[in-house]
Amino acid sequence: MIFGVSMTSVREKYTQLHDVVGSLSEKITAVLVRQEKDFLAAYRAHMYNVQKELHDTKEKILRNETLENKSEKIKLLEEERDWYRKEALRLDTFTTNMKKDLKHMKEKLECIEEDRDWLEKQLKASKKQNKLLRAELEIRLANLTSQAEDKMDTRPASPAVDDIAPPGLHLPLAAVEREEQFRKQIRQLKRDLQASKREVNRLRETTSKQQSNELEEFFVQSIDAVKKDIVRRRGHSRDAKTRPMPALKVEPVPGTF
């Protein structure tokens, strides 16, 4: 009797154990599925954080590169600004000197033109005076000639007296000498006027040539400066393109791996 009860209890326990063993694989499978879901959820969250950190790092690198490019561009623009400022100052100084030289040349030319006008006035006055003196001389010569003829007609003939020259005959010689002196003065004034005209023409030609040469030199210097500036900027552009970017050290984010 007791044995029968024990066997019944054993069979029940066996049945329960068999049921437990039969459902164990299902329970283990359910646990594995649940753990797999939790792992995948945690992995997705971790990968999302990694991708977000990677995206933030890339944006940071791009911002740094943009700032660096802006700094380089600002530096180049500042250098160009300084060069243009120096060039403007140099050209302003050169223009000021040119204006001073031009003013000096104009003043000198005005002085020469004033001298020329004065010489022309003197020459005209001398010509006018020469005409008056010549007319006066002709009148005096006519008067002296008529007086001499009258004296010769009224004076008796005498060899001794004929050989002696009357004092009035020396006056035409003095007048002729005076006329010759006036002619010499007029010729000298004409030569001075011609020399002044030649000097004025020479100064005009010199001023024109000097201005032309200075303008040509300034034009050539400007072209050379523009060429040098283009070559320099091309060199800066090549250096900026070939310059290696500094390596950015990315610190690992704690807890990512």
Average pLDDT estimate for 75-95: 93
Residue 161 in domain: no
| pLDDT (tens digit per residue) in 134-187 | 787 778 777 767 766 666 666 544 443 344 344 444 445 666 777 788 788 788
Q: Is 255 left (phi over 0), alpha (psi -120 to 50) or beta?
A: left
Residue 246 in domain: no
- Give the number of C-alpha atoms closer than 13 A to the C-alpha of residue 13, restricted to the C-beta side: 6
Q: At 257, is the pLDDT very low, low, confident or very high (cuts 50, 70, 90)?
A: very low
What's the structural domain count of the chain? 1
Q: At 242, is the pLDDT very low, low, confident or very high (cuts 50, 70, 90)?
A: low
| pLDDT (tens digit per residue) in 189-225 | 778 778 777 877 777 777 666 656 666 676 667 667 6
Residue 53 in domain: yes
Residue 256 in domain: no
| Encoded tokens for 131 | 């005409």
Structural domain boundaries, residue 36? 2-153+166-240
Residue 143 in domain: yes
Determine the Cα–Cα distance for residues 142 and 119; give it in Å rounded to an integer. 34
Task: Label residues 63-89 b or e (16+ Cβ within 10 Å = b).
Answer: eeeeeeeeeeeeeeeeeeeeeeeeeee
Mean per-residue pLDDT of the chain = 75
Residue 73 in domain: yes
Residue 160 in domain: no
